[in-house]
Amino acid sequence: KKRVLSGIQPSGRLTLGNYIGAMKNFVKLQDLHQCYFMVADLHAITVPQEPETLRDLSEANAALFIAAGIDPAKSNVFLQSAVPQHAELGWLLTTLTTMGELERMTQFKDKSNGKESIGAGLFVYPSLMAADILLYNADLVPVGDDQKQHLELTRDLAGRFNSRFGKYFTAPEPYIPEVGARIMSLDDGTKKMSKSSAVPGSFIALLDEPDVIRKKISRATTDSGAEVRYDVVNKPEVSNLMSIYSQCSDMSLEDIRVKYEGKMYGGFKKDLAEVIVATLEPLQNRYYDIRSSGEIRDILAQGAQNASEIATQTLDEVKQRMGFLSSK
Ligand code: TYM
């Protein structure tokens, strides 16, 4: 059995991008491996969050994990902030990270671009993410394409620690879907679909009602052509819709091309909306059941307890190797 860890920031309502890029694989991996899935609340505060909103989104997103099919009997679901070893190992790894490495992170460049005041947390964020992963010595990290560079840094930090303090950390591998690793925004095929976007029409939230989904898909940008064909360079928007279609059905991109050959975008979009609705409706029903049952608090408490067992062992070992005097 391998160890799997991943996390999602409660910085907005989860989207179809999060589901396709990451959560679908969480569900797939839990049957084969030992899994840790966290609500990355310590990461979310690298940009300002309203306390009440953060609390609400943290609980909502944990419930969405379960609604999407993560089984708390198989996987550990927890809040990052409930396992203090994340922050502590984060600091230790920050001291092994160089400014140059952090300056090269494209997510930092994107998020800080044009801002006159940039939080230091946003800058050191990748070291904390490395800590999340290395704390569990995870072998596999299911993520979307945008997290690849952070995973590369994590591997470098694992290697750096190992060469300075003796081999201890496993270099984790990203686990990225073949189709849908980067779901694009519905109004612009060159921008990533983002849960923190201010334009609701640009994303599909997992909790969007069926009619909202239908409206958003019918308004989604397409090119002026009429061909349903996968071509990311020349037809980024249509290609994106095809990826979503494929991931919400059991059809390959080629199956979809053949099905809509010689047809217009209208019918394709109509069917796509129904495929998405059929995927999300059962998830939404489970979500509202979980929220009203109140069981999420117990799931998070149990998950944090299980996670703490491994996290404590790792941190003790790391501190011992780095030369901290034990006071036990
Ligand atoms: P976050 O919260 O931005 O996104 C959560 C997961 O969803 C994936 N994702 C997407 N996949 C496809 N298309 C999209 N448009 C899309 N948008 C988001 C992300 O790649 C991610 O897998 N730094 C992480 C959270 C994190 C983490 C970790 C992940 C913190 N610690 C440790 C893995 C391991 C983040 O900001 O993800």
User: Does residue 104 share a domain with residue 247?
Assistant: no
Question: How much distance in Å is there from the Cα of 327 to the middle of ligand 1?
Answer: 37
Q: Residue by residue, what is the 3-state secondary structure of 275-300?
A: HHHHHHHHHHHHHHHHHHHCCHHHHH
User: Does residue 37 share a domain with residue 148?
Assistant: yes
CATH code: domain of residue 199: 1.10.240.10
CB-CB contact of 127 with 97 (8 Å) = yes
State which of 27, 146, 195, 239 you would mutate to test the pocket of ligand 1, scoring each by most atoms of that ligand within 8 A of its C-beta.
Answer: 146
Annotated binding site for L-tryptophan: 132
Rounded CA gap, 66 and 85, in Å? Answer: 24
The predicted-structure confidence for 207-224, as pLDDT tens digits, reads as follows 999 999 999 999 999 999
Least confident of 17-21, 88-92, 108-112, 298-302: 108-112
**Residues within 6 Å of ligand 1 by CB:** 5-9, 17-18, 20-22, 40, 43, 129, 132-133, 141, 143-144, 146-147, 181-183, 192-193
Query: How many structural domains does the chain have?
Result: 2
**Residue located via tokens 């899935």:** 37
Residue 327 covered by a domain: no
CATH code: domain of residue 115: 3.40.50.620
The predicted-structure confidence for 28-53, as pLDDT tens digits, reads as follows 999 999 999 999 999 999 999 999 99
Catalytic amino acids?
111, 192, 195
Question: How much distance in Å is there from the Cα of 310 to the middle of ligand 1?
Answer: 23
Residue 327, pLDDT score: 80
Q: How many CA atoms lie within 13 A of 141 on its CB side?
A: 31
Handedness of CA 81, 25, 129, 280 (dihedral sign): negative
Rounded to the nearest integer, the mean pLDDT of the chain is 97
The predicted-structure confidence for 21-32, as pLDDT tens digits, reads as follows 999 999 999 999
Residue 120 covered by a domain: yes
CB under 8 Å to 163, separation ≥6 — which residues?
Answer: none
pLDDT band at 328 (very low <50, low <70, confident <90, very high): confident
Annotated binding site: 9-11, 17-18, 132, 144-146, 183, 192-196
Give the residue numbers spanning the domain of 33.
3-176+294-322
